[in-house]
A and B are shown apart, each in its own frame.
Chain A
Amino acid sequence: MNRSRPLWIALLLIWSLLPMLWQLITSLTSSDALVNADIPFQQRWTLAHYRELLSGDPPFWRYLFNSSLVGGLSTLLTLLLAVPAAYGIARMAPASRRTIRTVVGAAALFPYVLLFLALLELAREFQMGNNLLAIALPYAGLALPLALLLLISAFEGLPNELDDAARLEGLGVVDRLRWVLMPLIAPATASTGILVFLFAWNEYPIALTWLSRDDLLTLPVAMARIAGSSIYAVPYGAYAAATVLGSLPLLTLVLLCQRQIVAGLTNGAVKG
């Protein structure tokens, strides 16, 4: 294995990155050159797709902004709900903890696509369609099971004595959580937050049915809309440019937080 390792690493990188590199190349290729291989090499390159994208109506950064807003809000909401809940659950008797874990685990496994219709009805009922703030509610609800699994494990990793000592010092439950326990589970909270953010950033079926106004679309819906027009008329050049621009924030996030993401999934998976 040792001698052939560079080969395997290269294969892994090619497999993971080639489709994305192809998007990058496509985004820089002029529309004519995409469908005509005979155009000479020097005349194939252009920035037109990017210019088109940024001057479009609504401009592309609008979708990035929408997605960031929804992602950030959902993450915040999920953590606000999940941290206290996980703390409460982690302090329960082992038997009830096991039951709750099973239920939460089942919910985390559930293919949530199947829920979109009823959620859409709720959106209509409460007038929550076309509202970027409101869509964070179902996102938080859907992300909650995974967040709970990860955070319960984190709280269970802390010794009970710590909590008891803080209680003896006269700290109330809120203060204990805020000043003693939160700092200790900060890494787990961070990795949970990143996973929730990724989920909200990438979610499609609910965004598709809840949002219809052009200037409110999140990135995945805006992207898919380009594809929806016709099988033959997809503007692949502009689309590839959108892919590149849309990937940059995530690329940064993943490269910076690789460790947290791995650690987060690890903990939840081991015990969940």
Chain B
Amino acid sequence: MAMVFGWPMLRYSWLSMHASSVLTGLEPVSNQGANWIRLLEDARFWQDAVQTLRFAALSVGLEIVLALAMALLLDQSWRGRGVVRALSLLPWALPTTMMALGWRWIFNTPYGPLEQMAQSAGLSPLNLLSNPDWTWLATVIADVWKTTPFITLLLLAGLQTIPDDLYSAFRLEGGKTRQALTAITLPLLTPYILIGILFRTAQAAGVFDLIQVLTGGGPAGSTESIAQYAYLNAMRFLDFGYSATVMLAGFVLLSLVIFTAAVLLQISGLLRPLKS
């Protein structure tokens, strides 16, 4: 673990203080923080940072709401529940690259099913993958489809820890079924929701496969994520020093976001159920 997690971070810190690119014959040469200055002035990096954040925020938000609905449904007992649970897990189990290409075909202009439908409804072409203003929403849809089952599982696990007696008692006291959701279910589920948000935010902030395959970062770089930019710098521009800088910066930004979120939650008192 130290090798796989610790070493890279040390190596990046060192590399980020060096120029190591084609210009230097791929040998690291110290450049006194020039990488970091370049990063601060690099509009493309900041655009990617904003894109990564809005992608993470919207998809995680949607996923939580959707997963909550799914978990509530899958927690009730009805015939065939096991099979439906397994089937609803599938999107999460399949390789991201595989289904990203599947979505690319669905969003395809002009032959994808969505375009075809729009066409027969008499709408103008949607151009889902070539409109810089909207394409990021297509990536969000694909991500929500793919990872909601993961949160559903988490929440399902949480629902199963809530004893049925609580609901019976609530009904005896004259509470309505609908109110039970806000009075019992949501408060007791909060820790699970938070874990889900935490896990998914971290993963979404490192999004790579999905966008790489679905849009390649385009159109016009509008969907490029930080991880992708780091990848491009290393593998296409062969600028390893700067790539390391981008990755470190991405990591720092992510830590900041999670830290801020944790502080906000602490202040709002939402974390209290976790401590009991």
Contact = CB atoms under 8 A, between A and B. Distances in A.
A209 B100 CA distance: 19
A16 B87 contact: yes
B240 interface: yes
Given A114-B230, A254-B90, A269-B157, A243 B101 contact: yes
B175 interface: no
A250 B94 contact: yes
Contacts of B45: none
B199 A117 contact: no
A203 B205 CA distance: 17
A109 B102 contact: no
A142 interface: yes
Contact of B101 (A109, A224, A270): A224
Given A111-B205, A198-B93, A236-B108, 14 more contacts: A19-B91, A19-B106, A113-B207, A113-B208, A117-B243, A122-B3, A145-B1, A205-B209, A219-B98, A234-B104, A258-B82, A262-B157, A265-B150, A269-B195
19 contacts: A15-B145, A19-B102, A20-B90, A37-B116, A118-B8, A118-B9, A118-B11, A141-B4, A141-B5, A144-B1, A205-B227, A243-B101, A250-B94, A254-B90, A262-B157, A265-B154, A266-B157, A266-B160, A269-B195
Nearest to B214: A227
Contacts of A255: 83, 86-87
Nearest to B254: A111
Interface residues of A, number: 73
Contacts of B9: 118
Contacts of B240: 117
Contacts of A261: 89, 153
A255 B5 CA distance: 33
Contact of A251 (B83, B90, B106): B90
A65 interface: no
A23 interface: yes
B50 interface: no
A115 B98 contact: no
Given A204-B208, A227-B104, A262-B156, A12 B84 contact: yes
Given A114-B227, A114-B250, A118-B12, A262 B5 contact: no
A111 B202 contact: yes
B235 interface: yes
A201 B97 CA distance: 11
Given A114-B206, A117-B243, A253 B70 contact: no
A243 B234 contact: no
Interface string A224-239: 1011000100101001
Given A231-B216, A262-B157, A119 B8 contact: yes
A26 interface: yes
B124 interface: no
B251 interface: yes
B164 to A, nearest CB: 16
Contacts of B150: 265
Interface in B201-229: 202-203, 205-209, 212-213, 216, 227
Interface in A43-85: none
A37 B111 CA distance: 9
Q: Which interface class (under 10, 10 to 19, 20 to 34, 35 or more) fits B?
A: 35 or more
A23 B102 contact: yes
Nearest 3 Cβ contacts at the A-B interface? A111-B206, A141-B4, A118-B8
A174 interface: no
A259 B120 CA distance: 43
B90 A16 contact: yes
Interface string B94-131: 11111111111110100101001000000000000000
A223 B227 contact: no
B202 A12 contact: no
Contacts of A95: none
A35 interface: yes
A87 to B, nearest CB: 16
A142 to B, nearest CB: 6
B101 A107 contact: no
A130 interface: no
A224 B97 contact: yes
A188 interface: no
Interface string A96-132: 0000000000010111111111111110000000000
